[in-house]
Amino acid sequence: MNHEDQASSTIRLGVLAWLKRASMVNGNEFTRGELEQGALVNGERVVLIGPQGIFKPRQISYYPLSITTTTKSPYADSFSSESELLLYKYRGFNPDFHENRRLGDSMGQNIPLIYFHSTIPGKYLAIWPVFIVADNPAQLTFTVAADDALQLDYPRDDEHPELRRAYVTRSVRQRIHQQTFRERVLQAYKGRCTICQLRHVSMLDAAHIIPDNAPEGEPIIPNGLSLCKLHHAGYDQKFFGIRPDYSIEVRRDILAERDGPMLKHGLQEIHDSKIHVPTSYKLKPDPERLARRYEEFVIESG
């Protein structure tokens, strides 16, 4: 294929510039409605996402603008255990289908794309620029690498750009996992702290019961708790523990301490209370994981 025509390239770069500005406000997170409304480029709305994963808006002539993984995707998009790059599935089973062919052709022209990853239904994390770096028709899979956004403005003459892209993609993978974990845990707890019921989402964290660097520290809802900043810090510092029956035990020295109203109401008064958990059994905190974490609390609190 030839290089992208000037009009299409202008639209593509305009969309990426719009994404950069919008992300300064919302931190790379977009609703489906925002992406369907699109970016305003040269006085015209450019839609960023479509009903299918590989998407090209009408203003761009040939190469796709974005690829998307949704929570209900029929395709098994994943990260390679070997290269740690994204493995993005073809649409359907025909390598010569026009969307697959155009996405594959973008590889030879080094066309920058946007990757939208759905963390929860209707909410997307935007990753850009990403590039198709390999095409495997036998496996019906494209290999996708992320790159530094500065590359779009200040291209480098790297001898080994694949090393930079592998590093950037690893950080992207971690961000996707962390953000997906956060969104799903907070959704399961209806945007409230499991202890004090604080509802300000900006003040809430998705806390791991078993840390994510441990073998059983998977980023799944049963290994998570929705905690406000105070109670997340208190849980991590072992000011209190949570028993497998969901009751809270505050450390004896914390109970005996005399300070101010924050200590009294925020920590001492939660002793022997119970955390609020999701109603769905499959979303509730895993008692076995809680037991492991509680044992550590008992040992360290003496």
State pLDDT tens for residues 83-106: 789 999 999 999 999 999 999 999
Residue 156 has a pLDDT of 61
State pLDDT tens for residues 191-241: 999 999 999 999 999 999 999 888 788 899 999 999 999 999 999 999 999
Residue 75 has a pLDDT of 58
Percent of the chain with pLDDT over 90: 77
| Residue 129 CB partners (closer than 8 Å, separation 6+) | 16, 112, 113, 114, 146, 147, 149, 151, 152
Q: Are 244 and 222 contacting, i.e. CB atoms less than 8 angstroms apart?
A: no
CB atoms within 10 A of CB 199: 12
State pLDDT tens for residues 248-295: 999 999 999 999 899 999 999 999 999 999 999 999 999 999 999 999
Q: Which class is domain 6-184? A: mainly beta
pLDDT surpasses 60 at 59: yes
Residue 19 has a pLDDT of 94
Which is nearest to 9 in space by CA: 41, 51, 55, 54? Answer: 41
pLDDT surpasses 80 at 136: yes
Domain spans in the chain, listed from the N-terminal domain onward: 6-184, 193-301
Which is nearest to 76 in space by CA: 90, 61, 96, 55? Answer: 90
Residue 185 has a pLDDT of 97
Q: Are 167 and 160 contacting, i.e. CB atoms less than 8 angstroms apart?
A: no
Give the pairing type, strands 113-120 and 248-250. unpaired
**Alpha-carbon span 239 to 294, nearest angstrom:** 12
pTM summary value: 0.85
pLDDT surpasses 60 at 150: yes
Q: How is residue 207 written in tokens?
A: 């806390």
**Alpha-carbon span 199 to 240, nearest angstrom:** 21
